[in-house]
Chains A and B, each alone.
Chain A
């Protein structure tokens, strides 16, 4: 129990004294996972909306596949991305393995199905006639999409939070494709694993607390946006 209090004290000390390494790691985590979330939003929301509105054979199968992808194990993603990015692998010419870009790529793969899955559910949950009504009022297709997404913004922001939460807390893929390189690809989760391995439990706890704080801050901002003009 003392260890946890030590950890909390340590976390505060690290943050208040503006410890450069800790801030660097924290900022890098935010950058990498933020970027990955953004990529997954572009792909996931686009694909999810298209899928929700389209009607074709095999749609149920595709949605099931995406929903399965929501539970994609990060280590498996990490393994496949590593193999793809190997110097002598199919994408080796990019020389991307063990860079922040590689982590963004792996985390995007993890977050995209989460965002897409929730988007499909969110758009499908809108009243069926809404689309017809919007079109009947003379909206273009693009305007219709915008209105539908606005109507579904509560669950869509939940998709953002779920995607971000999924990747900021993920360690398996980050350590495999990033390599936990000091000052370069070391993020909060991989640093926590390493400090635990080194027996520095107080620092590990401190990093864990900083991670929680960061996730809370991001989610708080998103929640403010989400609840801002919630239909009452």
Chain B
């Protein structure tokens, strides 16, 4: 009985210690909440950049990786300080509604349409993305959609629109509601087509066996902006931290890191740095 009590007390003491330790870590004051798309995390870019930023400025970045839609919803409620998003039309709306104080171009890569290697819908013959989607719809070939209001999903909806196809409710059109990485895995497993950002696809290519079937069309550009959430609208936002992060993302040294990211591991850069360029000049 005595030993039993001893063990019990040891366990309780250990647990008490466990409560105390995370508290002391939580005493950080210089926190920034960064709401970002899953692609920047799933591709590993943030893991490469954030330690540099934290060392330079002393800010601790809390990265919340969600879809662009949710990231902007968080920004619109003042629950994030700075956003990294790739859904330009929604971002414009976000800015027009006065939710952001500044929006700057950071980088781009492109979306690609990928599909099973035997290409049952013959998409490789398509000259642009809407035509590729039309072919997929025409053959009722399986298409896996993100379906999560992310930037990729927004782009996909736009392409369906220009293709003049309404895919919702069709048997060949399936929505995962998951991030890019998991959606790619579903597409690979079910041998379906899907729209993906090149970065995530490159970083996962080894597991997938889904080649690119359509790329290079200017409508497939994937542009990332950094947005500072408006401190006028939400006084509790960490405006100084957001500013520091935004300026870090467009600084020449960071841009160089972005341009070099992925070359070593995947043999190709995952993103093209674009700070200071105009949106119209991209992809030309």
From B12, B181, B236, A92 is in contact (CB under 8 Å) with B236
Within 8 A of B (CB), among A27-64: 28, 30-32, 34-35, 37-39
Given contacts A86-B77, A98-B64, A179-B62, contact A199 B22 (CB under 8 A): no
Beyond the given A31-B22, A104-B19, could you list 8 further A-B residue pairs with CB under 8 A, ordered by the A residue number?
A32-B22, A86-B79, A92-B236, A100-B23, A198-B41, A198-B42, A198-B204, A199-B184
Tell me if B94 counts as interface (CB < 8 A to partner A). no
Given contacts A34-B14, A88-B236, contact A99 B78 (CB under 8 A): no
Q: Which stretch of A114-122, A208-216, A222-230 is in the interface?
A: A222-230
List the interface of chain A (C-beta within 8 A of B): 28, 30-32, 34-35, 37-39, 86-88, 92, 96-101, 104, 179-182, 184-185, 194, 196-199, 201, 221-222, 224-225, 228-229
Contact partners of A101 in chain B: CB under 8 A: 22-23, 26
Given contacts A100-B26, A229-B4, contact A88 B42 (CB under 8 A): no
Within 8 A of A (CB), among B66-92: 77-79
List the interface of chain B (C-beta within 8 A of A): 1, 3-4, 7-8, 11-12, 14-16, 18-19, 21-23, 25-26, 33, 38, 41-42, 44, 47, 50, 60, 62-65, 77-79, 178-182, 184-185, 203-204, 206-208, 234, 236
Assess the A34–B18 pair: CB atoms within 8 A: yes
From A35, A39, A180, A228, B3 is in contact (CB under 8 Å) with A228
Assess the A199–B181 pair: CB atoms within 8 A: yes
Assess the A184–B234 pair: CB atoms within 8 A: no
Q: Which residue of B lies closest to A28 (CB)?
A: B22
Alpha-carbon gap, A39 to B21, bound state (A): 15
